[in-house]
Amino acid sequence: MRPLFLWLMTLAILTAAEPAGKPNILFIPIDDLNHWVGFLGRNVQTRTPNIDRLAKMGVAFTQAYCTAPSCNPSRASLMSGLRPSSTGCYENNQNWRPGIGEDKLLNSHLAKNGYVVFGAGKIYHGAGDRGGHFDEYFPGKGGPMKLHPEAKDAGVGGIKFAPLAGSDEEMADHAVVSWCIEKMSQKHDKPWFIAAGLVKPHMPWNVPKKWFDLFPLEQIQLPPHIAGDLGDVPAAGVKIAKPTGDHAAILESGRWKEAVQAYLAAIAYCDFEVGRLIDAWEKSPEKDNTIICLWSDHGWSLGEKEHWRKFALWEEPTRTVFIWKAPGVTAPGGLCARPVDYASIYPTLCALAGIPAPAHLEGADITSLLRDPKAEWKLPAVTTWMKGNHAVRSEDWRYIRYADGSEELYHNSSDPLEHVNLAGKPDLSAKKAELAKFLPQKDAANLPRGKGGEGEEAEGASKPAKKGKGKKKAA
């Protein structure tokens, strides 16, 4: 009996000592979510209990930025590890493939290194834009939905919003999350990578009315803004802001608060779907061996600096939501104020997964910040919008240089809303030069238009039904 007992004890010890193997990865891309989440404190009205819950579980970044303030170039850059200035993918209507190649993509690289790769919803620019390798891919499904009877119309000009009469279960994102939960619950022979691409809060801000009801219109507060905020902005920046477009239309309509209400409602719905993913992960047998990486592809402006949408280089359109939970690396409740951008995601996942990082990557591995959010960090975040226009964001400063050489400089630690452009002050020339060292050294030629940039809305997203189909107005 004793030899058998010793043999069993030895087997138990060896089994316990075996490494868990490569970690699984739950990847949560969110479309058009700006920094209006609870833990960032930018908007006190927002309701994001699930995103905030995830932030408390690991390390959340308070100064995270996209590499491009637009869906297609942001996602192409993040998933390839290459900056827009290197690939030439600057805008939504471009085909990213000639500048990148599908073999360089994160999901393809993980597949080559032993992962089974699942994707659902909007990961690249559209839900139908299936970039790189996926073992299985679910674009999502969501049929036409009626506007709620109390909806006035579909919005103001290009800013589309209205409550829906349908249920959460009819939304495209709900189907995406359900599919990913099913994959998470299945047994797999390899470590898995599951990307759950959520479309909301992308426009149209159409979600079931119950989410609008969380934000009574009479209690809505407008974003911080001052009249004439573009007065010290160079012509290149004013042209990008388009103050006579969406902003002028919203002001004329008198419906600014309604638009803010709708965006908050879409964020609250998105948070609900994130909560479903977190709940499923917590029940998963793989919970303790799963990395979670949640990111929003860029920010969004709702009238700050007389600008709407993304498509600009200021704080609102470029600041993002960025959260990591990595077993054995992150500690609960970590907040990191170091500036990082999304070129960091690909190399960091390689490091955490214990696989080689491909040579083409241009971003920095931020594992040191995941281990210690207060660790030393000398790199700023860099964002590009269209060819030749770049922003460099350090902990305290934002420096913008446009293709025509004009500049903006903001001292964000004392002017977080970027009201005062300091670029013309001679005593700050050294600061501009210090930040300018991080500007891209080349601006690749624009890639052609085509697949990979077809339209603003992801395919399969829940939209109101069109006229003539027995439904209310389309958004």
Note the pLDDT tens digit of each residue in 182-227: 999 999 999 999 999 999 999 999 999 999 999 999 999 999 999 9
DSSP per position, 238-254: HHHH-IIIIIHHHHHHT
CB 240 within 8 A of CB 308: no
Band (pLDDT 50/70/90 cuts) for residue 127 is low
Q: Residue 397: is its pLDDT beyond 50? A: yes
Distance in angstroms (rounded) separating the CA atoms of residues 378 and 390 = 19
CB 233 within 8 A of CB 241: yes
pLDDT tens-digit readout, 104-125: 999 999 999 999 999 999 999 9
CB 72 within 8 A of CB 91: yes
Which residues make beta-bridge pairs with 193? 25, 117
How many CB atoms within 10 Å of residue 259?
Answer: 24
> Active-site positions?
71, 125
Strand segments, DSSP code E, in 2-106 are 24-30, 59-61, 64-65
Query: What's the one-letter identity of residue 69?
Result: P
Q: Residue 3: is its pLDDT beyond 90? A: no
Query: What's the distance, Cα to Cα, between the start and end of the chain in Å?
Result: 76
Please report which residue ranges of 166-321 form alpha helices under DSSP H: 172-185, 209-212, 235-241, 248-253, 256-283, 315-318
Q: For position 248, what pLDDT does the model report?
A: 97
How many CB atoms within 10 Å of residue 364?
Answer: 17
Distance in angstroms (rounded) separating the CA atoms of residues 63 and 91 = 23
Residue 384, helix vs strand vs coil? strand
Q: Any residues with CB less than 8 A from the CB of 270 and at least 6 apart, and which?
A: 30, 33, 173, 198, 200, 201
Q: Which of 440, 433, 380, 378 is nearest to 407 (CA)?
A: 433
Helices then strands, counting H and E runs in the chain, come out as 15, 18
CB 303 within 8 A of CB 246: no
Q: For position 467, what pLDDT does the model report?
A: 39
436-472 exposure pattern, b = at least 16 Cβ within 10 A, e = fewer: eebebeebbeebeeeebbbebbbbbbbbbbeeeeeeb
Q: Residue 126: is its pLDDT beyond 90? A: no
Q: For position 454, what pLDDT does the model report?
A: 43
**pTM for the complete prediction?**
0.92
Q: Which of 6-15, 130-139, 436-445 has the lowest mean pLDDT?
A: 6-15
Above pLDDT 70, what percent of the chain? 90
Q: For position 129, what pLDDT does the model report?
A: 83
Q: Any residues with CB less than 8 A from the CB of 366 and at least 6 apart, and which?
A: 340, 344, 348
Distance in angstroms (rounded) separating the CA atoms of residues 92 and 456 = 7
Q: Residue 20: is its pLDDT beyond 70? A: no
Give Cα separations from 463 to 95, 116, 132 (angstroms).
25, 32, 27
Above pLDDT 90, what percent of the chain? 87
Average pLDDT over residues 247-260: 98
Distance in angstroms (rounded) separating the CA atoms of residues 363 and 348 = 9
Q: Residue 400: is its pLDDT beyond 70? A: yes
Q: For position 452, what pLDDT does the model report?
A: 53
pLDDT tens-digit readout, 329-348: 999 999 999 999 999 999 99
Band (pLDDT 50/70/90 cuts) for residue 142 is confident
pLDDT tens-digit readout, 367-391: 999 999 999 999 999 999 999 999 9
Distance in angstroms (rounded) separating the CA atoms of residues 443 and 320 = 24
Q: For position 453, what pLDDT does the model report?
A: 46
My answer on whether omega of the bond before 204 falls inside 30° of 0, hence cis, is yes
In degrees and rounded to multiples of 5, residue 61 shows phi and psi of -100, 130
CB 364 within 8 A of CB 344: yes
Q: For position 144, what pLDDT does the model report?
A: 78
Q: Residue 456: is its pLDDT beyond 50? A: no
How many CB atoms within 10 Å of residue 43?
Answer: 20
Band (pLDDT 50/70/90 cuts) for residue 439 is very high
Q: For position 418, what pLDDT does the model report?
A: 98
Q: Residue 17: is its pLDDT beyond 70? A: no
Q: How far is CA 137 from the centre of its chain?
A: 20
Q: Residue 291: is its pLDDT beyond 60? A: yes
Q: For position 451, what pLDDT does the model report?
A: 61
Q: For position 457, what pLDDT does the model report?
A: 42
Q: Residue 473: is its pLDDT beyond 70? A: no
Domains of the chain: 22-379 (3.40.720.10)
pLDDT, mean over the chain: 91
